[in-house]
Every structure is written in C-alpha cells, then in structure tokens.
Amino acid sequence: MKTIVYVDGFNLFYGLLKGTPNLWLDLELFARSLMTDKYEIAEIKYFTARVRGEAIDTISAHDQYCYLCALAKNPIVKIVEGYYKRYRAKMPFAKDPCKSCYKVAYATVWKVEEKKSDVNLAVEMTSDAYENKGDAFVLISGDADHAAALSVARYRFGKKTIVFNPHAGECVELRQLSTYYKNIPRDLPAQCQLPETVTLANGRSVHRPPAWR
C-alpha cells in the first residue's frame, strides 16, 4: 500500500522529544517502526520552521541546521518549511495574585510562534489526495488543527488515514477521523536515531550536536 507520511515537527518535538537525548531522530526508521510491512513509504514530509538565531528550548539554529542536512540526505524525506514569528507580549507571572490588591503582576516577554506549518501540512495532504499520490496517509501529530485535512483525505478522496499521536493524551478529533489511531510508545525514539555522523552528498559531514546527547 503506497503510503505518504506527514510529520508535524513542532508537535512531535513538544509531545515526545523535548527534554530527551532523542532529537537526532531518523524519520524513516521511526515511521517504519510504527507500521507493518504492507505500507510502502513513498515519501515522508517533515513540516518545521527554521529557528534562525533564536534558541527554541534545546534547539539552536546551528543544531537544527545540522539535523535538517542529515534528514535531507534521505531521498524520500521532503522538508517543508514555515517560519517563526517573534513579538513582545505581556504575560502574567506564574504565581498567586497579590493578596491585598488582588492584582496579577505582568512581565513583558518575547513570544515565539511557528507560522505556516499547519497550513503547509493541510495543503500538502489535500493536494496529494486530489492527485492520488498514495493509498494511505499517515499523520504524526496530536494537533486537532489537522482534522479538516484528514477529513478531506478520508471522506472526499477515500484514503486510509492513520494517526500516530506523539502526546500521552488522546486527540478525540483525530481519532474519530482516522481509520487507525495509536499513541506513539514513549521509548520508540531512542531506538530510531540517526548515525552519530552523517556524510552528505557533497562529501561534507554533519554530527549529532553535543547538546542533543
């Protein structure tokens, strides 16, 4: 069964990888470990955004660059990029309000939000369904924002829709729209890591970032 895998990189990171030494993830090995041999993976589409100098938790711009280079060596992996938007916002302190005045203290902070990745994923999935590029569409995400695209793929174009949720909880919307739904085992990423050093097509090498060990 010809299969296309759609990986919500942001959701995967916050649902399964953040705070672990498993960021150097081999997407093909990871996807194949989730499915049986009857699913022939034609393409893996990885939706992400470049950090571009601002640290996002444990990911720096250089570390992310090395990882994307390592992923891009695999011919079945397609990287689809959105972008990060940074802006000032007022946020309340994480503490109880003043007991005498009942006011909550606020601080001005930088907020960083990923943009376009959800839209990119929806466009890619619906376009692939319309062009009949695969029989099974696999979504790696627990974000209910993908429900509309999943619904179109299943009910408009008759595709087998499979969801692997990287979060511990259940996403009811995605489960209801999938022909198969499963939460990803928490220990699986550790078994699906890229080699410590990946040699690229131009002869250069990239290495697992020290911060990712």
* Residue 200 covered by a domain: yes
pLDDT in tens, 160-187: 999 999 999 999 999 999 999 999 999 9
- Would you say residue 97 lies in a domain? no
As a whole number of angstroms, the distance between CA 80 and CA 70 comes to 15
Q: Are residues 77 and 28 in contact, defined by beta-carbon separation less than 8 angstroms?
A: yes
Q: How many CB atoms lie within 10 A of CB 42?
A: 15
93 assigned to some structural domain: no
Stretch 120-136: mean pLDDT: 98
Predicted confidence at residue 117, as pLDDT, reads 80
Mean pLDDT, the chain, rounded, equals: 90
Domain membership of residue 106 (yes or no) is no
E strands along the chain, which residues? Answer: 2-8, 40-49, 77-92, 106-115, 136-140, 160-165, 180-183, 197-199, 205-207
| pTM, entire model | 0.87
Confidence at residue 3, expressed as pLDDT on a 0 to 100 scale: 98
Q: What is the CATH number of the domain that holds 18?
A: 3.40.50.1010
Kindly state the average pLDDT of the residues 106-113: 65
CB contact at 8 A, 19 and 52 = no
DSSP of 15-55: IIITTSS--SB-HHHHHHHHS-TT-EEEEEEEEEE--TTS-
Q: How many domains does the chain have?
A: 1
For residue 104, tell me if it sits in a domain: no
Q: Note down the domain range covering 73.
A: 2-86+114-212
Q: Are strands 2-8 and 40-49 parallel, antiparallel or unpaired?
A: parallel
- The answer to whether position 170 is within a domain reads yes
